[in-house]
Amino acid sequence: MTTLFLNARLIDPEAGTDAPGGVLVADGRIAEILPERTDPAHLFRARNIDPAKADVVDCGGKCLAPGIVDIGVKVCEPGERHKESYKTAGLAAAAGGVTTMVTRPDTNPAIDSPETLEFVTRRAQADAPVNVLPMAALTKGREGREMTEIGFLMDAGAVAFSDCDHVVANTKVFSRALTYARSCGALVIAHPQEPVLSGGAAASSSKFATLRGLPAVSPMAERMGLDRDIALLEMTGARYHADQITTARALPALERAKANGLDITAGTSIHHLTLNELDVADYRTFFKVKPPLRSEEDRLSVIEAVRTGLIDTISSMHTPQDEESKRLPFEEAAAGAVALETLLPAALRLYHAELLDLPTLFRAMALNPAKRLGLPCGRLAAGAPADLILFDADVPFVLDRFTLKSKSQNTPFDGQRMQGRVLATYVAGAPVFRRD
């Protein structure tokens, strides 16, 4: 099967370019990156391709980029399928341009045994139209006491190990888990946060949180958590990724750790890049995320860190919650927001605000996450899997949360004006989503 994408605006995160061109896809892989104004007939002849068996997609000058690799998607199977299933998450991912979901193990029960991992892998293969790569818990039940069977779980397909928002508070347990994980070559993804200091917090300490009377945590708790983890990395030499760096104060520590040659990368969430604490306004629980939204200064610092590459990845941190868990007083409401379908439009806000260009965004959303997980996708290069998205970077629309494909519709962007959305999504060269 051959597909020829012509007349596209190619977003190449590896080369850092945003230029006209085309892509030839054969047998699920990118066969060739083509120059502007390629003549299809001429190309088919030159490459010995039967034009009758080839699809030609005229991209009409729209953007063609590698599909998004999203580290940290929560699909609520097993345990809370009423919030999100592999089918609905997969449809949402396809509609949002996410071609690889790296799923979280913070389900109920946690994905902490090869058997549970095999169950979700089966469910994902049967139902999801996009690639699904599962993560497994680092400790049993995400309780921070005993490490999981890291070796068996890797054999079963776990691509990384994480207790998600549960911090392994016991440093002895965490250092042993890191040491063991290193011997297996496993990537550990942690949530840098001082868990006692941040306990019970629903907001970042600030004038706003004071005015709203919300229990708040100093942004310093993130730096303290990161400092501890960096010290443990020096001890153990493990492969480490911080799931979300959201504060300016954590950045110098991250920079030093990288300069010292530790095997560390860091991500951030799209919500911390595009929203700040004031968006909570009158206790809007759809804006309650973990860690809490930060100050505008923090937001701008984190954007700058994405631009320079200090922060490597951007994730949706897709966290479905049903209406009941959100229709509560702010302190009691569940944290988290769905974001598979809003990740790209929200990221494009940064592009339209001229803070980040498109190759930089796709470096953080596709290339870097793929590289960190050792995946061949996330690039526009011959030989890479043809996981591609075609999107219009400029088309304006108003988001209506009830049009989302997720089972849960807890998005903070409801009713907001967005600009740019996916037109078509391809996984291994095959279309999995087309906007009508």
Partner 1 sequence: MSHVSPAAPGPSFAARHLLGIEHLKPHEITEILDLADTYVDLNRRPEKHSDVLAGLTQINMFFENSTRTQASFELAGKRLGADVMNMAMQASSIKKGETLIDTAMTLNAMHPDLLVVRHPHSGAVDLLAQKVNCAVLNAGDGRHEHPTQALLDALTIRRAKGRLHRLNIAICGDIAHSRVARSNLILLGKMENRIRLIGPPTLVPGHFAEFGAEIYDDMREGLKGVDVVMMLRLQKERMDGGFIPSEREYYHRYGLDAEKLALAKPDAIVMHPGPMNRGVEIDGTIADDINRSVIQEQVEMGVAVRMAAMDLLARNLRAERMEQAG
Residues that bind partner 1 (CB under 8 A): 205-207, 209-214, 282-283, 324, 327-332
For residue 299, the minimal CB distance to partner 1 (Å) is 18
- Whose Cβ is closer to partner 1: residue 3's or residue 285's? 285
- Whose Cβ is closer to partner 1: residue 207's or residue 256's? 207
Q: Could you say which DSSP state residue 380 is in?
A: -
Question: Among positive and negative, which fits the CA dihedral 390, 349, 335, 401?
Answer: negative
Alpha helices in 287-357 (DSSP H): 296-308, 323-326, 343-352
- Whose Cβ is closer to partner 1: residue 204's or residue 315's? 204
For residue 62, the minimal CB distance to partner 1 (Å) is 41
- Whose Cβ is closer to partner 1: residue 19's or residue 328's? 328
Cβ atoms of 73 and 102 within 8 Å: the answer is yes
For residue 225, the minimal CB distance to partner 1 (Å) is 21
Q: Could you say which DSSP state residue 295 is in?
A: -
Amino acid at 276: N
For residue 169, the minimal CB distance to partner 1 (Å) is 19
Q: What region, left, alpha or beta, does residue 72 occupy, with left being phi > 0 and alpha being psi -120 to 50 degrees?
A: left
For residue 211, the minimal CB distance to partner 1 (Å) is 7
For residue 212, the minimal CB distance to partner 1 (Å) is 6
Beta strands in 228-270 (DSSP E): 239-242, 264-269
For residue 379, the minimal CB distance to partner 1 (Å) is 46
* Burial of residue 16 (number of CB atoms within 10 Å: 0-12, 13-18, 19+): middle
- Whose Cβ is closer to partner 1: residue 152's or residue 283's? 283
| Distance (Å) of CA 17 to CA 229, 323, 360 | 35, 42, 9
For residue 203, the minimal CB distance to partner 1 (Å) is 10
Rounded Cα–Cα distance for residues 105 and 88 (Å):
17
Burial 327-351 (b: 16+ CB within 10 A, else e): eeebeebbbbbbbbbbbbbbbbbbb
- Whose Cβ is closer to partner 1: residue 3's or residue 206's? 206
- Whose Cβ is closer to partner 1: residue 116's or residue 285's? 285
Return the number of other C-beta atoms located less than 10 Å from residue 323's C-beta. Answer: 9
Cβ atoms of 320 and 336 within 8 Å: the answer is yes
For residue 92, the minimal CB distance to partner 1 (Å) is 27
- Whose Cβ is closer to partner 1: residue 60's or residue 215's? 215
Rounded Cα–Cα distance for residues 299 and 274 (Å):
7
| Distance (Å) of CA 365 to CA 77, 202, 293 | 24, 27, 20
- Whose Cβ is closer to partner 1: residue 81's or residue 284's? 284
Provide the CA 77 distance to its chain's centre, in angstroms: 18
For residue 332, the minimal CB distance to partner 1 (Å) is 6
H helix count then E strand count, the chain: 14, 18
Pairing label, strands 161-162, 264-269: unpaired
- Whose Cβ is closer to partner 1: residue 57's or residue 333's? 333
